[in-house]
């Protein structure tokens, strides 16, 4: 579990996050939703420690990230896996080398054990026979899956996803969503996903926070989101004609 | 104020760079790759440039020594000293700053905007150490060899001119090469090259590492890296020359 208490973040004169609190629960898919430019990605990067927060604290199972020294932070980061918006795969390394990288850096596994782990990770993201291809030689959906395989290589306790479905077709997006859900359940991982994709929200949103103007505007589940009275959230959820029609049918 | 900010951030980056590598085996592999890319990859351009530079310097020196009272061997002498003292180290470094410096800035800049550096940081990897240290060390290791190659090829360029033109004879040229030779001048040039190697790699890496935005900014960072590297090379050239030769 990750407990986030009253974190704020300012860039220059602009306060991007304003006293945000949220609990990211273990074994659940925790979604952070909101319009572009409302502070979702800053929130994610603050939670993982890429942006130091101005105030507040972030407790990883009781360990406060904001009070950690470099050594403690480094140890914590080995428990974290993150999938970036564009995949962030190392361009000049093959699929297999990308997954091997964290294993080389942080484990004392033998060559055979590493290969076994790589195969295990690739199998879990349904990738076969692509070990020696380079990121530029595989599709966007496959790149995301390789990024997920790399993120789970060290068996993380915490998994973060920044817009995992951006740039993907709806069918592949569903595959990625289901993959995230199954990994979260299978390994009982604390998962946080930043998205503005309402399909993902409805598909896997077990716990949702809506961020608006740098603040936590609403919190609930995917069952509750359709019946919310919150004006800004309503505008976000029912922005598309498809969801408007679903609401009308429901009513 | 902005200058102070950059100096401070550059110093902090170097502190991260010169940390103990996470895994020496991986660091060694990275170092070998960079030795090949930055060092061996620079040999051909150094060969071409210094050969023609040596040839041109010989012709120009000969053209300016038309006075019959000046012995012809002075052409070889002047060519040798120009190449050893300045052309082999400073001019080679300026050219490498343009080629390798922009290459380093754009490589690291692309890693930054592609979030690969963030991905390393999230894993707990000291990205500055992992990416930049092998580049700095490989250039420092290879630069003296490149300078020695530049000296030899530059002098050979002059020798070819002495064979093919009427400006001077081969004997005059060879006599001039041996006249009043001091090994200290070679050492001076090598010392300079070590400093230049550090400047090229660290300054270019700095500009790539902190790039923000997209592909256009990566290009701009590459240009900035080259410009600041060249300015610092010329400034340190003056400083080292003052220290060692006066």
What confidence tier does A172 reach under pLDDT thresholds 50, 70, 90? confident
How far is the CA of A76 from the CAs of A66, A81, A191, B38, in angstroms?
12, 11, 15, 35
Rounded distance, CA B137 to CA B142, Å?
Answer: 9
If one counts the domains in chain A, the total is: 2
Shortest Cα–Cα distance, B151 to chain A (Å): 35
Q: Is B4 a domain residue? A: no
Q: Residue B202 sits in which domain range?
A: 35-245
Helix (H) or strand (E) holding A24: strand A14-24
Residue B237 has pLDDT above 70, yes or no: yes
What was the ipTM of the complex prediction? 0.85
Residues A119 and A228 in one domain: no
Buried b (16+ CB within 10 A) or exposed e, B106-133: bbbbbbbbbbbbbbbbbbbbbbbbbbbb
Of A109, A104, A79, residue with least CA distance to A93: A104
Specify the pLDDT at position A153: 92
Residues A72 and A167 in one domain: yes
Q: What pLDDT digit, counting tens, does each position of A45-68 carry? A: 999 998 999 999 999 999 999 999
Residue A95 and residue A146 in contact, taking contact as beta carbons nearer than 8 Å = yes
Residue B232 and residue B226 in contact, taking contact as beta carbons nearer than 8 Å = no
Residues A68 and A94 in one domain: no
Rounded distance, CA A62 to CA B162, Å?
Answer: 79
Residues A62 and A166 in one domain: yes
Q: Is A20 a domain residue? A: yes
Residues of B within 8 A of A154 (CB-CB) are: 123
Q: Is B11 a domain residue? A: no
Q: Is A100 a domain residue? A: yes
CA end-to-end span of chain A? 37
Q: Report residue B155 as tokens.
A: 């002098």
Which residues, numbered 147 to 176 in chain A, qualify as contacts with chain B under a Cβ-Cβ cut-off of 8 Å?
A: 154
Residue B183 has pLDDT above 80, yes or no: yes
Q: Is A203 a domain residue? A: yes
A50 CB near a chain B CB, below 8 Å?
A: yes
Average pLDDT of the residues in B83-112: 94
B114 CB near a chain A CB, below 8 Å?
A: yes
Residues A148 and A196 in one domain: no
Rounded distance, CA B200 to CA B179, Å?
Answer: 34
Q: Is B3 a domain residue? A: no
Residue B47 has pLDDT above 80, yes or no: yes
Residue A9 has pLDDT above 70, yes or no: yes
Q: Is B10 a domain residue? A: no
Residues A183 and A236 in one domain: yes
Q: Is A21 a domain residue? A: yes
Residues A11 and A62 in one domain: yes
DSSP letters spanning B172-241:
HHHHHHHTT--HHHHHHHHHHHHHHHHHHHHHHHHHHHT--SSHHHHHHHHHHHHHHHHHHHHHHHHHHH
Q: Is A170 a domain residue? A: yes
Final residue belonging to a domain, choices A155, A172, A196: A155
Residues A166 and A228 in one domain: yes
Residue B195 has pLDDT above 80, yes or no: yes
Final residue belonging to a domain, choices A155, A177, A198: A155
Q: Is B30 a domain residue? A: no
If one counts the domains in chain B, the total is: 1
What confidence tier does B191 reach under pLDDT thresholds 50, 70, 90? very high
Residues A129 and A7 in one domain: no
Q: Is A89–B115 a contact, with Cβ atoms under 8 angstroms apart?
A: no
DSSP-based helix, strand, coil % in chain B, nearest 5: 85, 0, 15
Residue B84 has pLDDT above 80, yes or no: yes
B124 CB near a chain A CB, below 8 Å?
A: yes
Q: What pLDDT digit, counting tens, does each position of A187-219 carry? A: 899 999 998 888 888 888 889 999 988 888 888
Q: Residue A146 sits in which domain range?
A: 90-155
Cα Dmax for chain A: 60
Q: Report residue B195 as tokens.
A: 């400093």
Residue A8 has pLDDT above 80, yes or no: yes
Shortest Cα–Cα distance, B110 to chain A (Å): 10
Q: Which residue of A has its CA nearest to B126?
A: A74
Q: Is B123–A91 a contact, with Cβ atoms under 8 angstroms apart?
A: no
Q: Is B164 a domain residue? A: yes
Q: What pLDDT digit, counting tens, does each position of B107-116 carry? A: 999 999 999 9
Which residues, numbered 17 to 56 in chain B, qualify as contacts with chain A under a Cβ-Cβ cut-off of 8 Å?
A: 22-23, 26
Q: Is A84 a domain residue? A: no
Of B75, B212, B99, B190, residue with least CA distance to B143: B190
Residues A144 and A217 in one domain: no
Average per-residue pLDDT for chain A: 88
Rounded distance, CA A64 to CA A58, Å?
Answer: 5
Write the burial class of residue A68 (CB in 10 Å: 0-12 exposed, 13-18 middle, 19+ buried). Answer: middle
Residues A67 and A11 in one domain: yes
Q: Is B162 a domain residue? A: yes
Residue A125 has pLDDT above 90, yes or no: no
Write the burial class of residue A74 (CB in 10 Å: 0-12 exposed, 13-18 middle, 19+ buried). Answer: middle
Q: Is B234 a domain residue? A: yes
A84 CB near a chain B CB, below 8 Å?
A: yes
Residues A113 and A47 in one domain: no
Final residue belonging to a domain, choices A134, A155, A176: A155
For residue A172, the domain's CATH number is 3.40.50.300
Half-sphere exposure of A243 (CA within 13 A, CB side): 16
Specify the pLDDT at position B148: 95
Average pLDDT of the residues in B204-230: 93
What confidence tier does A71 reach under pLDDT thresholds 50, 70, 90? confident
Q: Is B116–A89 a contact, with Cβ atoms under 8 angstroms apart?
A: yes
Q: What pLDDT digit, counting tens, does each position of B116-171 carry? A: 999 999 998 999 999 999 999 999 999 999 999 999 999 999 999 999 988 888 99
Q: Is A85 a domain residue? A: no
Q: Which residue of A has its CA nearest to B114?
A: A88
What confidence tier does A251 reach under pLDDT thresholds 50, 70, 90? low
Specify the pLDDT at position B246: 82
What confidence tier does A36 reach under pLDDT thresholds 50, 70, 90? confident
Q: Is A82–B119 a contact, with Cβ atoms under 8 angstroms apart?
A: yes
pTM: 0.87
CA end-to-end span of chain B? 34
Q: Is A129 a domain residue? A: yes
What confidence tier does B223 reach under pLDDT thresholds 50, 70, 90? very high
């Amino acid at each position: 579990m990750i407990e986030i208490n009253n974190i704020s973040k300012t860039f220059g004169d602009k306060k991007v996050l304003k006293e945000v609190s949220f609990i990211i629960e273990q074994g659940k898919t925790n979604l952070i939703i909101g319009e572009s430019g409302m502070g979702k990605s800053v929130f994610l990067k603050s939670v993982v420690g890429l942006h130091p927060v101005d105030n507040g604290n972030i407790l990883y199972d009781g360990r406060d990230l904001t009070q950690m020294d470099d050594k403690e932070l480094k140890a914590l980061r080995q428990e974290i896996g993150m999938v970036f918006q564009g995949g962030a795969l190392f361009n000049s390394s093959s699929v297999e080398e990308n997954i091997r990288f964290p294993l080389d850096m942080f484990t004392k596994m033998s060559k055979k054990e590493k290969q076994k782990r790589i195969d295990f990770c690739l199998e879990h993201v349904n990738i076969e026979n692509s070990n020696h291809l380079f990121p530029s030689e595989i599709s966007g959906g496959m790149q995301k899956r390789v990024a997920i395989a790399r993120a789970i290589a060290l068996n993380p306790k915490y998994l973060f996803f920044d817009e995992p479905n951006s740039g993907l077709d709806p069918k592949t997006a569903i595959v990625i969503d289901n993959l995230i859900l199954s990994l979260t359940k299978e390994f009982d991982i604390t998962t946080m996903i930043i998205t503005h994709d309402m399909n993902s929200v409805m598909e896997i949103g077990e716990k949702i926070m809506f961020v608006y103007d740098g603040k936590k505007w609403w919190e609930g589940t995917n069952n509750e989101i359709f019946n919310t009275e919150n004006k800004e959230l309503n505008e976000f959820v029912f922005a598309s004609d498809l969801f408007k029609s679903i609401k009308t049918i429901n009513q | 104020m902005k200058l102070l900010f950059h100096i401070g951030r550059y110093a902090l980056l170097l502190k991260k760079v010169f940390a103990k590598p996470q895994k020496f085996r991986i660091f060694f592999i990275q170092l070998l790759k960079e030795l090949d890319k930055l060092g061996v990859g620079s040999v051909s351009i150094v060969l071409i440039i210094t050969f023609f530079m040596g040839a041109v310097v010989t012709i120009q020196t000969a053209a300016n020594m038309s006075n019959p009272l000046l012995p012809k061997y002075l052409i070889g002498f002047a060519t040798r000293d120009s190449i050893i003292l300045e052309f082999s180290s400073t001019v080679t470094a300026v050219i490498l700053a343009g080629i390798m410096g922009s290459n380093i800035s754009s490589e690291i800049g692309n890693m930054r905007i592609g979030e690969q550096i963030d991905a390393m940081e999230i894993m707990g990897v000291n990205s500055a150490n992992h990416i930049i240290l092998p580049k700095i060390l490989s250039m420092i290791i290879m630069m003296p060899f490149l300078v020695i190659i530049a000296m030899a090829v530059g002098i050979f360029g002059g020798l070819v001119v002495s064979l093919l033109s009427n400006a001077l004879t081969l004997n005059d040229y060879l006599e001039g090469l041996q006249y009043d030779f001091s090994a200290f001048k070679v050492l001076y040039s090598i010392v300079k090259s070590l400093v230049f190697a550090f400047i090229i790699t660290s300054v270019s890496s700095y500009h790539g590492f902190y790039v923000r935005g997209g592909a256009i900014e990566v290009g701009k960072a590459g240009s900035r890296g080259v410009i600041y590297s060249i300015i610092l090379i010329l400034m340190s050239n003056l400083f080292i020359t003052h220290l060692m030769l006066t």
